[in-house]
Amino acid sequence: MNQSQADSRQLVDRIVELSRRPGPVQLMEVCGTHTVSLFRTGIKSLMPAGVRLLSGPGCPVCVTSQGYIDAACEVAGRPEVTICTYGDMIRVPGRSGSLEQYRGRGARVMVVYSARDAVKYATEHPDRQAIFLAVGFETTAPASAAAVMEADQRGLANFTILAGHKLVIPALAFLLSAGDVAIDGFLLPGHVSVVIGVEAYQPVAQQYHKACVVAGFEPMQMLNGIVCLLEQIAAGQARVDNVYAVAVRPQGNPTALRAIDEVFEPADTIWRAMGMIPKSGLALREKYRRFDALDRFGLVVGPDYDPPGCRCGQVIQGKLEPAACSLFATQCTPAQPVGPCMVSSEGTCAAWYKYGRARQQA
């Protein structure tokens, strides 16, 4: 046994010890990458009976409403439009197919690694209308803000964004206020926290009295994070710990936050299944409104709805485990997904499909 294995063993022993004290505990990991890493490293299966890990609304594609997907597909069908999007989005089924299927029918849909690439495309293709699908949490929002500022400085008349960014903290507050799921503590997303900082979570700890810890994605950090949460809970405390201090600072990245604030303002936004959550998204400020694809193309983001039989809406709120969905691994698979949680590699259903089923079958 090497040092790292010995350390892990010690942390797992500590978790088992702590699990004997406060009774059953439910911890929610808020980030899709945590969900995948907890499975991948086997940590999920190491949890003692008294400690349950729930997946939360942490996969950007999964929380995006069907209305947004349909609006993106609708505008993709216009001959002058090129959709520029992160790869995860193109396979999410909309009312009349996914963006990938629209591409098969002749629509221009381009996968980009960065919002910068969308601006570059618009600059080099003045005859095309480039629409960037601006989705994701606070990790991708600074890139969208910089792209809009860049388009503004270049005076681009053929670049817009379909604003779909979501903010993490209002979603946590929504889940806690709804009270449908018992949550004792949160394993908070490492890379969102690089941007927003540790202090941003104080309201979750103080107003809702929930244990919080910011953790990275390495096994030791996740185990450490779980120990921190259980220790807080056992002691009846609720504070924000940070086991990822090498990357996450108390105030986050102020330069990135200023960029977001320059371009966007908090706005009421519709989430998949969770409905409208006040001030939980980002809308372009008046100064940058001309980069809004909704305005330029007269689009309307319609109401959210579930694809028939799909229960992704319950899954992202921690109300349902994927295996309890009747479509899971039968009609809905990574090769032929019905809902977004099976599409995205960060989706809870995709993680269960890849790692959880093997465990059940073993």
Q: Point out which residues bind other proteins (CB under 8 A).
A: 31-33, 36-37, 40-41, 58-61, 86-88, 110-117, 119-121, 135-137, 139-140, 142-143, 146-147, 149-150, 152-154, 189, 191-192, 194-195, 216-219, 246-247, 253, 255-256, 259, 344-346
Quick one: which H or E segment has residue 281? strand 275-284
Q: How far is the CB of 303 from other proteins (least distance, A)?
A: 24
Whose Cβ is closer to other proteins: residue 110's or residue 267's?
A: 110
Q: How far is the CB of 243 from other proteins (least distance, A)?
A: 13
Exposed/middle/buried for residue 266 (C-beta within 10 Å: 0-12, 13-18, 19+): middle
What are the angstrom distances between the C-alpha of 84 and each of 63, 115, 263?
A: 19, 8, 19
Cα–Cα distance for residue pair 130/108, rounded to 1 Å? 10
Whose Cβ is closer to other proteins: residue 241's or residue 346's?
A: 346
Q: How far is the CB of 82 from other proteins (least distance, A)?
A: 10
Beta-carbon contacts of residue 247 (< 8 Å; ≥ 6 apart) = 190, 191, 194, 216
Whose Cβ is closer to other proteins: residue 25's or residue 341's?
A: 341
What are the angstrom distances between the C-alpha of 280 and each of 51, 149, 161, 318?
A: 30, 22, 18, 19
CB 280 within 8 A of CB 271: yes
Q: How far is the CB of 143 from other proteins (least distance, A)?
A: 4
Q: How far is the CB of 246 from other proteins (least distance, A)?
A: 4
Could you tell me how many residues make up the chain? 362
Neighbour count for residue 343 (Cβ, 10 Å): 25
Greatest Cα-to-Cα distance within the chain, rounded to the nearest angstrom: 66
Bridge-based pairing state of the strands 275-284 and 264-271: antiparallel
Whose Cβ is closer to other proteins: residue 153's or residue 361's?
A: 153
Whose Cβ is closer to other proteins: residue 149's or residue 329's?
A: 149
Q: How far is the CB of 151 from other proteins (least distance, A)?
A: 9
Whose Cβ is closer to other proteins: residue 136's or residue 225's?
A: 136
3-class DSSP state of 134 = strand
Whose Cβ is closer to other proteins: residue 35's or residue 66's?
A: 35
Q: For 1, which DSSP code?
A: -
Q: How far is the CB of 120 from other proteins (least distance, A)?
A: 5
